[in-house]
Chain A
Amino acid sequence: MSKGKTLIEVEGLKKYFNVGGGNVLKAVNDISFSIAEGETLGLVGESGCGKSTAGRTILRLYEPTAGSVRFNGVDINQLSPKKMKAMRRDMQMIFQDPYASLNPRFTVTDIIGEALDIHGLAGSHAERKKRVEELLDMVGLNPDHATRYPHEFSGGQRQRIGIARALAVNPKFIICDEPISALDVSIQAQVVNLLEDLQDRLGLTYLFIAHDLSMVKHISDRVAVMYLGRIVEMADSEELYANPMHPYTKTLLSAIPIPDPEVEANKKRILLEDTASGPIGKEGAASGGLFDLDNSELVEVSKGHFVSMPKKG
């Protein structure tokens, strides 16, 4: 998986939310990983495990509680607002809900052109229009629709608009925050193909957040499994699916539906018992759940395959 040099390096990233009453929600609790240029890292986990928060904290949409995110070696959390703004051109995001991620009062031109305005990338009105049409064409939309409003498009088309918006500033790294989970299965395939196609053409690096395990396997080079705000296992996608090691990963994989009624009926689901401690609690309270993640660390068991194991000693 040594596709190129490391582009993104996340180290010890934490994001706690104050939920009142002296309790904190440890949405992201000490995660570390790196992504090489041109690579796709899949991030999977159940709802509420902190995947989206992790994505947003990496983009510094939320200020992290601790840890660092280095982009090309530059720690983005240390950047001044001005430099951060410039940095945002390199890092973009595609959002989950195509109905909520487009401002209903903007036309498509304004939605896509906003990034151009913010960074002063389009000198003239005509230039801006040309660039927007170019982007629409790139994501497979009809440029004639540039003057329309988001509500006139279908879910898949809207998601394409969201992708065009992310591409407007020529980013190197895109966080795809469950970009397909709100779409029909037939449309999902189209959007995933588009994302893969764009990755090849533009040399993009993705962090692909999802809970659809089979789709993640398809698109990712490596997959990280998140549970209660931490990464419990990370490996090449083939390796992870063929040889899951952490009990949580096994549970997750056993939940993938198999399109064969007989197999599905006889399949044994592994069920998790109630978790011992959740992500909400006092600052110092245990939050590791069933697997005592507080006292675990990621250990490389075979090349590139990391599993969370109890600390020795």
Chain B
Amino acid sequence: MDSNPIKVMPTPVDLTAEDFRKIGTDEKEAEVIQRESISAWRDAWQRLRSNKLAMTALIILGLITLTAIIAPWLIGKIYGYNYYSNDLLYTNKAPSSTHWFGTDDLGRDMFIRTWMGARISLIVGLAAACIDLLIGVIYGGIMGYFGGRVDEIMNKFSEILYSIPYLLVTILLLVVMEPSLGTIILALTITGWINMSWIVRGEIMQLKNREYVLASRSMGAGHGRLLFRHLLPNAVGPIIVTVTLSVPNAIFAEAFLSFLGLGVQAPVASLGSMISDALTGWLYYPWRMLFPAILISLTMLSFNIFGDGLRDALDPKLKK
């Protein structure tokens, strides 16, 4: 055993005052940030990009949109027919090299019609979502920002509107007004914005008591600046997600209405009306139902998956 556990340290060799010098601890120098500056948007984009499922959905959506834009035109150029030109000698034909998706009961090419239908679906979906966005953000923004009595009255109004069966309103509107693309979009948006306004209202209410909003108020910022510079930009994540998820809803609603015969009128095709037409002989001519059905399912699925991915990317806290 070591009797003396404390050992005398050997003296370091000849240390003089010159060996100690200040190597500089400038406070500002120490606080330099090395990491590259990343905005919230780029951060979200990086998260989204690493989500393979969402990116696949985004690519599929891109392809669908692109095809819907150019395919009817391109095929028309190559084969010399359009979505309403019929060939009565060539009805209900199975897919072939001249008619890729076959033909329908009037001998019209299914490929062009399917993509024309997709075009209608996308237009209706995007237009309805944009109008919902515009009305919902303004209405919800005002409700959330002012709160109190204003909120109470405006919220009651939207609750009353929401309590009327939406299908009833829509069908009534389509019966009264001339069925057209515009009428469908109007019918879909007449109650569609309510959901968005509630989302925005909730977000604004939550954000308006944040200290940075108070700070801006203490500097004398007006309502416009607070709402458009501070509150809405910080609520933009949930807003974008709601828009993305409301597009498939609108597409589905349009297909459903067209299926009932309340949608766009012949000869214009919509995916819903094509499926409806195909019902009569779907056991004999399954392709007439198959292709529009696959396309509408694929579109809606992609929008939903992409919307989910977008939500995870914009607000990672929600994921768990």
Contact = CB atoms under 8 A, between A and B. Distances in A.
Query: DSSP majority for the B interface?
Result: helix
B37 A84 contact: no
Nearest to B26: A142
B28 A141 contact: yes
Interface in A152-170: 152-153, 157, 162, 165, 169
Interface stretch (A70-78, A101-109, A234-242, A297-305): A101-109
A267 interface: no
Interface residues on B, range: 20 to 34
A182 to B, nearest CB: 11
A93 B220 contact: no
Contacts, number: 79
Contacts of B27: 140
Contacts of B220: 84-86, 88-89, 118-119
A198 B39 CA distance: 31
A29 interface: no
Contact of A93 (B33, B210, B218, B233): B218
A303 B275 CA distance: 91
A98 to B, nearest CB: 9
Contact of B37 (A56, A92, A149): A149
A185 interface: no
A103 B230 contact: yes
B225 A101 contact: no
Nearest to A94: B215
Interface residues on A, range: 35 or more
Interface string B14-52: 000000000000011001110101111000000000000
A226 to B, nearest CB: 20
A97 B211 contact: yes
A59 interface: yes
A263 interface: no
A130 interface: no
A70 B221 CA distance: 22
A160 B16 CA distance: 40
Contacts of A148: 33, 37
B230 A118 contact: no
Contact of B219 (A103, A114, A142, A149): A114
A95 interface: yes
B73 to A, nearest CB: 41
Contacts of A85: 220
Contacts of A152: 33, 35, 37-38
Nearest to B225: A118
A114 B32 contact: no
A89 to B, nearest CB: 8
B210 A100 contact: yes
B216 interface: yes
A188 B229 CA distance: 31
A40 interface: no
Contacts of B234: 103-105
A275 interface: no
Given A85-B220, A114-B221, A153 B212 contact: no
Contacts of A141: 28, 31
Nearest 10 CB-CB pairings of A with B:
A101-B211, A85-B220, A88-B220, A115-B219, A103-B212, A95-B211, A100-B211, A142-B28, A105-B233, A93-B218
30 contacts: A56-B214, A59-B218, A61-B217, A85-B220, A86-B220, A88-B218, A88-B220, A89-B220, A91-B218, A92-B219, A95-B215, A100-B210, A100-B212, A101-B210, A101-B214, A103-B230, A104-B40, A114-B219, A119-B220, A140-B27, A142-B28, A142-B31, A142-B32, A147-B37, A151-B40, A152-B35, A152-B38, A157-B31, A162-B215, A165-B215
